[in-house]
Amino acid sequence: MVGPTGLERHPDVTELRQTYDRAGSTAPAQVLEGLSFLAGLYLALSPWIIGFFGFRGMTVNNLITGLVVSALALGLASAFGRTYGVGWLLPLLGVWAVISPLVLRAGAEATATTLWNNVAIGIVIFALGAAALAMAQAFRRHEKGERSARRLGNW
């Protein structure tokens, strides 16, 4: 068993967590995380909403991917400073949602309905995840006093 390295007690790590917690508590960040949660929930339920639950591979894939997106969004919304390190998974899961009907098609599972459903929700998840990461970076730069040509949120 590996013991603590002492890195978690480093003042920069504590300051970084506090900065990301403040970034996660802003209204724009909370809206993004709420929309990410809803997008993940939709992805999980989409086989039953759209009606392709007969395709076992796609149903299981969308259910698991959607639940992971929802859990990640809840984690980011509740403890952004501690979960920011895994925030990059949200855009990656959006990309997986887009390509999964082609990867898992196993014959005829990639119908037009499954493909367009996953492409649309995958793009939404990717965009929300990328926006959340960009917002946290902009907030961090703002707190450091750096000037940016772009302005995200109301900081």
Kindly report, residue by residue over 21-69, the tens digit of the pLDDT. Answer: 555 556 666 788 889 999 999 999 999 998 887 788 888 999 999 999 9
pLDDT at 10: 53
Residue 126: inside a domain, yes or no? yes
In total, how many domains does the chain have? Answer: 1
Residue 140: inside a domain, yes or no? yes
pTM of the predicted model as reported, rounded to 2 decimal places: 0.73
Kindly report, residue by residue over 90-139, the tens digit of the pLDDT. Answer: 999 999 999 988 888 655 666 788 889 999 999 999 999 898 878 767 76
CA distance 79 to 17: 9
Residue 64: inside a domain, yes or no? yes
Residue 90: inside a domain, yes or no? yes
Q: How confident is the model at residue 1 (pLDDT cuts 50, 70, 90)?
A: very low
Residue 136: inside a domain, yes or no? yes
Q: In the structure encoding, which two tokens stand for residue 112, read together?
A: 């037009």
Q: In the structure encoding, which two tokens stand for residue 92, read together?
A: 């990656």
Beta-carbon contacts of residue 131 (< 8 Å; ≥ 6 apart):
32
Residue 36: inside a domain, yes or no? yes
Is the pLDDT score of 155 beyond 50? no
Residue 107: inside a domain, yes or no? yes
pLDDT at 24: 55
